Amino acid sequence: MNTAQAVNILGEFCGPRDIPRLEKKALLARYGIEKADVFVLFGGAVLAGGDVLAEAVEADIARYYIIVGGEGHTTQTLRKKMQEALPGQRTEGLPEAVLFDRYLRMCTGRSADFLETRSTNCGNNITNLLSLLKEEGIECSSMILTQDASMQRRMAAGLAKYRSDITAINYAVCRPVMEEKDGELVYKTEIRGMWEPMRYISLLLGEIERLSDTESGYGPRGKGFIAHVDIPDRVLEAFELLKGAFPDLARKADPRYGS
């Protein structure tokens, strides 16, 4: 296993897609439904998340479309990317959900049904979302979750902690594949608004630490932020390889966005 392969193994694990495409026939084939109750885009996603949300609305695969996100560790990068995508539009100080809704409106003519703008981390992304559903009287038994490729699995584990009765359908914003070219790790294909390669690797390394059900992880045996997640041996092997190659790269939790 080389470094690029290790990154791709972590990426595939952290960013699952439970259906191959955002289509009614894909939902019907796997879950026996043509529409999910809720489609939710989480604001920590890269810019391509806006395109995925537009695709979902166009496909009419949910009853309600929600964008969740206030300000967290990824927000300033998102604001910068949005500024580049929407020249002339103010992005400074705006929460992630508003940024994505503005992108959706200006670039596709679509809009979300509801925005949640107070969340600061993956944990209250979920709890605030569930509070919004309750406040709006939205009954939910199936939910399509769309998040950045590095954080997708943790988001589903967070939902499982609070509402294991909801069928969570993962659809990561993108499926990045890395390769080594001229001694550097690069993406095989361009992804709209994607993290710089080292930032992406940093996020992946930090995710494995958080997903681990250990004393220092976020699972029930640790901080208790998420439901238990089984991490395959091959993923742990890739994690150890990358941790050895980049010993100081794993993203640490930012106390400013704790809850």
Q: Which tens digits make up the pLDDT trace of 78-113? A: 888 888 888 888 888 889 999 899 888 887 888 899
Return the pLDDT at 236.
Answer: 96
Tell me which of 81 and 257 has the higher pLDDT: 81
- Which tens digit of pLDDT belongs to each residue from 117-154? 888 877 788 999 999 999 999 999 999 999 988 999 99
Q: What is the mean pLDDT of residues 226-251?
A: 89
Does the pLDDT at position 8 exceed 90? yes
Q: What is the dihedral of CA 179, 13, 171, 106, to 10 degrees?
A: -40
Rg (CA), the chain: 18
Return the pLDDT at 140.
Answer: 96
Residue positions counted in the chain:
259
CA distance 128 to 112: 16
Intervals of CATH 1.10.3620.10 along the chain: 3-12+176-252
CATH of 3-12+176-252 given 3.30.465.10, 3.30.70.141, 1.10.3620.10, 3.90.660.10 = 1.10.3620.10
Intervals of CATH 3.40.50.620 along the chain: 16-170
Does the pLDDT at position 235 exceed 90? yes
Return the pLDDT at 79.
Answer: 85
Homologous superfamily, domain 16-170: HUPs (3.40.50.620)
- Which tens digit of pLDDT belongs to each residue from 18-38? 999 999 999 999 999 999 999
Would you say 239 and 207 are in contact if contact means Cβ atoms under 8 Å apart? no
Cα 50–chain centre separation = 12
Return the pLDDT at 48.
Answer: 87
CA distance 61 to 144: 9
Q: Which residue has 């954080």 as its token pair?
A: 151
Please give, one letter per residue, the 3-state secondary structure of the chain.
CCHHHHHHHHHHHHCCECCCCCCHHHHHHHHCCCCEEEEEEECCCCCHHHHHHHHHHHHCCEEEEEEECCCCCCHHHHHHHHHHHCCCCCCCCCCHHHHHHHHHHHHHCCCCCEEECCCCCHHHHHHHHHHHHHHCCCCCCEEEEECCCCCHHHHHHHHHHHCCCCEEEEECCCCCCEEEECCEEEECCCCCCCCCHHHHHHHHHHHHHHHCCCCCCCCCCCCCCCCCCCCCHHHHHHHHHHHHHCCCCCCCCCHHHCC
